[in-house]
Structure 1
């Protein structure tokens, strides 16, 4: 199969954003980017066919959020308040930012398979943008525009962008279910590896009629599994992550269930926010501990 080509675009797909930031933030995933969007911290524009479009200011806003989490351990609500509340007496300008570069991620390659599958359908050539102007850097809210869902003025074109490869699972209106053939195509896995993932209960097809369907979590696991298998690992090695995740979820359950038992109108929202915070803290702690554990390997000569 031949790789398609398309015109240069002034924006990135979600997979390309992941590849761009992965080296700087090793714990970032497509699911985490979507989660930040669901919380209103980022609101990338969409093409007519539903794919997300990340411009320079979207990428820099995302980088700021991840940096605040990593360096200052701030909850998402605090970060959002800092982004959305400008300092008194200041305007919220549109930022002008340098072109993000795409460094090749170190370590395990091909983890970000969502942006590397060459046969996916190309995004529509939509051009929707906003004008840029100098930016004040004295306050987080004045460094980034508040997330909006529409724009009326075109953004400046970028001549150094590579063609954006869309993430098909990112399309609006598309059911978050995938047939076996779709999952194999999108993740780049072979059928034997997918069977191994099923055998170790890392992915599970739900029977709908005569067809087994996978969800977006299964797709995300398959993408990561491909990176590990490309690096020489067996699927059985990934079982430890599942066990660790289940133990972590069990620990969170002990804290969340008492909140749910209150049965008040606010308890559901409070429990969801608590789960978000705990999941975020758990992910950061895990990344810190792994980074510390592998540091002797990086420093060894």
Structure 2
């Protein structure tokens, strides 16, 4: 593993052995093992490491998407590189130069003014515009949750949790967290993806524990 890090250190100086072990645990790397259990990375394995790290750094792709791409390659297919097309900068929902005000956001989301007020009060949506696609997606999601009896006030902890996760990301990046280069942004996305996996795993685990067959 140390030899792998030496070969990629010029391009990826921040990669550590724990990072390689994590990629292996996620099923993205499959190094052979010696009789004594040591990992044996081939030239193809090193190239695969470079590809994974480049897709994270340059294309900001989550590991799940990278894994699906690699699986298709492993099966002999020739998949298009995900995320290779440049993405436009975020713009107002109504198009370049246009703005969506509060009334427009409520209308487009199919929400009520009351739900919008609740979302603002819970800190889930800003009180004033202009509003963007993330705001529209949030309000539409709140409309769907309201049908199931879940109100914005029930989601205050999500806002607190998001702020806590942001603090964890900044803490993990250390002094370099103020940088806005591609490597730092990729690392931020990587850590955010790991934290999201933790949340989802905890919920899935809790649902399994609460299943009727588990309570018998």
Distance in 2 separating the partners of 1:294 and 1:183: 34
Distance in 1 separating the partners of 2:209 and 2:97: 44
Partner of 1:255: 172
Partner of 1:144: 79
Distance in 1 separating the partners of 2:205 and 2:155: 20
User: Deviation of residue 171 (structure 1)?
Assistant: 7.0
Of the three residues 101, 106, 109, the one matched with 1:179 is 101
Cα contact 2:109–2:136 (8 A) shared by 1: yes
Alpha carbons of structure 1 residues 177 and 220: separation in structure 2 relative to 1, 3 Å: farther
Cα contact 1:200–1:236 (8 A) shared by 2: yes
Distance in 2 separating the partners of 1:176 and 1:251: 35
Q: Which runs of 5+ in 2 are unaligned?
A: 1-55, 86-90
Cα contact 1:205–1:214 (8 A) shared by 2: no
Distance in 1 separating the partners of 2:67 and 2:97: 31
Of the three residues 127, 140, 157, the one matched with 1:223 is 140
Partner of 1:293: 206
Alpha carbons of structure 1 residues 253 and 173: separation in structure 2 relative to 1, 3 Å: same
Could you list the per-position Cα deviations for residues 252-290 of structure 1 after superposition, in whole angstroms to 9, with x for gaps in the alignment?
Answer: 1112242246x7xxx722210110101111111111110
Partner of 1:135: none
Distance in 1 separating the partners of 2:98 and 2:168: 28
Distance in 1 separating the partners of 2:157 and 2:60: 33
Distance in 1 separating the partners of 2:110 and 2:98: 18
Q: Which has the higher contact order (CA 8 A, sep 6+)?
A: 1
Partner of 1:284: 197
Higher-helix-fraction structure = 2
Could you list the per-position Cα deviations for residues 210-254 of structure 1 after superposition, in whole angstroms to 9, with x for gaps in the alignment?
Answer: xx4223322222122112211012221011111111111111111
Q: CA RMSD in A?
A: 3.6
TM-score, length-scaled by structure 2: 0.57
Partner of 1:269: 182
Cα contact 1:187–1:222 (8 A) shared by 2: yes
Cα contact 1:83–1:144 (8 A) shared by 2: no
User: Deviation of residue 173 (structure 1)?
Assistant: 4.4
Cα contact 1:189–1:222 (8 A) shared by 2: yes
Q: Specify the SS of the correspondent of 2:131.
A: strand
